[in-house]
A and B are shown apart, each in its own frame.
Chain A
Amino acid sequence: MEFDISGARIFWRIPTGIPILGDFLLTETLVVSWIVMAIITGLCVFLTRNLKVEKISKRQAVAELLVESANNLVRNNTGGTKFDRLIPFVSALFATSVVSNLISLTGIFRSPTADLSTEAAWAVVVFIMITAEKIKAGGILGYMKGFTEPIAVMTPFNILSELATPVSMACRHFGNILSGVVINGLIYAALAVASSALFGLIPGAVGEFLSHIPFLSVGIPAILSFYFDWFSGVMQAFIFTMLTIMYIANAAEG
């Protein structure tokens, strides 16, 4: 029995000839990302159809709850309405992350978050925002000077720790999702082997036939999937979002 975990499938390769960027690959990651975006946008459109001031529908209540939760999350963690402009960004980050993590539950799609490119992209955007916020708070010189504190010797370490922020954010999220993929793959493979061995004990053609169907794969992986997909998926999205808010709020305080 062979077991292999591979990266996202490549559907189409467009040679560009640009040195560093390389060929454009239409991968599963991108396609599923677009599906995720379509789902989120469709949900937004569906929830906000027919809004009323009074006697609201359940759908509108959900929409309002989502908006209020996002507002409260950002406002409570940054202490005020100073960062209200960040709310749509943070919401987009969270929604995309959650839906991307959970879309693997369909069994058809591979999570776009199981590709480091996705998390790296998000982390770099957040890193640029943090840096911009720091420069805005202390000026470019203040930002530079921040690296030499508390003493000049610390400068290399400060730069390292600054760069570690996006790397750790990206790798934390990616690692958790990938570990879910790996563990689930292992479980399925192991259960297939186990059921093959178990039903292979039945003599004759019946056992031969039944041993090819992984009966044990029904049910048991669902329990593990509850942790690795549901819990971990929502948790990682939340952590990524919270870190984004925290880092940006801290950066603005200088």
Chain B
Amino acid sequence: MGGSNTQALVTIIPWTFIAQILNLFIQMYLIKKFLFKPVNEILAKRRELADKEIKEAREAKEEADGLKVQYEEGLANARAEAAQIVQSAQKEAQIRADETVRQAQEQAAGIRRKAEADIAQEKKKAINEVKDEIGGLAMDIAGKVVEKEINEADHKKLIDEFIKNVGEAS
């Protein structure tokens, strides 16, 4: 072996050297064209898509946040309003209750006063009646005294009776 059919083991053949340089650059071009260009394009496209989606998501989030703030504000307003309504209702109810109680007291006081006046009047009337009766009785007694002779004992008895009558009537 080692004849004209093979080259030396360690040697640089000029044409092979030049050809290999060209081969390297051709390979570079082929790899660039068939691997890097399409794959980089697809990667760029995917990145674009991802960016777009992130942007959209961010926008949606912002919108949702805005709505949330709006809703919370509305809710807070409604709550305050409700509280105010309840408060005013309570106040009104209190006023009305106070008024009712006052009126009732007034009425009661009126009734009582009237009753007292009635009682006083009745009493007065009764006393007057008693007085009239006493007068009548005295007249009767005087008549009786005139009719018959009155002894000591009768006299005493009459006075007692009279006093007793008066005491019962008063």
Contact = CB atoms under 8 A, between A and B. Distances in A.
A40 B31 contact: yes
B31 A88 contact: yes
A197 interface: no
B35 A47 contact: yes
Contact of A88 (B2, B19, B21, B36): B36
A70 B35 CA distance: 11
B34 A44 contact: yes
Contacts of B17: 117, 120-121, 124
B6 interface: yes
B20 A64 contact: no
A78 interface: no
A144 to B, nearest CB: 26
Contact of A33 (B12, B14, B20, B25): B20
Interface in B27-54: 27-32, 34-36, 38-43, 45-46, 49
Contacts of A205: none
Contacts of B41: 51
Contacts of B28: 88-89, 91-92
Nearest to B41: A51
B1 A96 contact: no
B6 A7 contact: yes
Interface size class of A (residues with CB under 8 A): 35 or more
Given A4-B1, A30-B19, A178 B26 contact: no
B42 A51 contact: yes
Contacts of A93: 24
A14 to B, nearest CB: 9
Interface in B107-144: none
A115 B38 CA distance: 33
B153 interface: no
Interface string A125-150: 10000000000000000000000000
Interface string A1-32: 00011111110000010001111110101100
Interface in A162-197: 174, 178
B146 interface: no
26 contacts: A4-B1, A7-B7, A7-B11, A8-B6, A8-B7, A16-B15, A21-B14, A21-B15, A30-B20, A41-B30, A41-B34, A51-B39, A67-B40, A67-B43, A91-B28, A91-B35, A92-B27, A92-B28, A95-B31, A112-B20, A115-B7, A115-B13, A117-B16, A121-B18, A125-B21, A125-B24
Closest 8 CB pairs of A and B: A121-B20, A44-B34, A92-B28, A88-B32, A117-B16, A7-B7, A44-B35, A92-B27
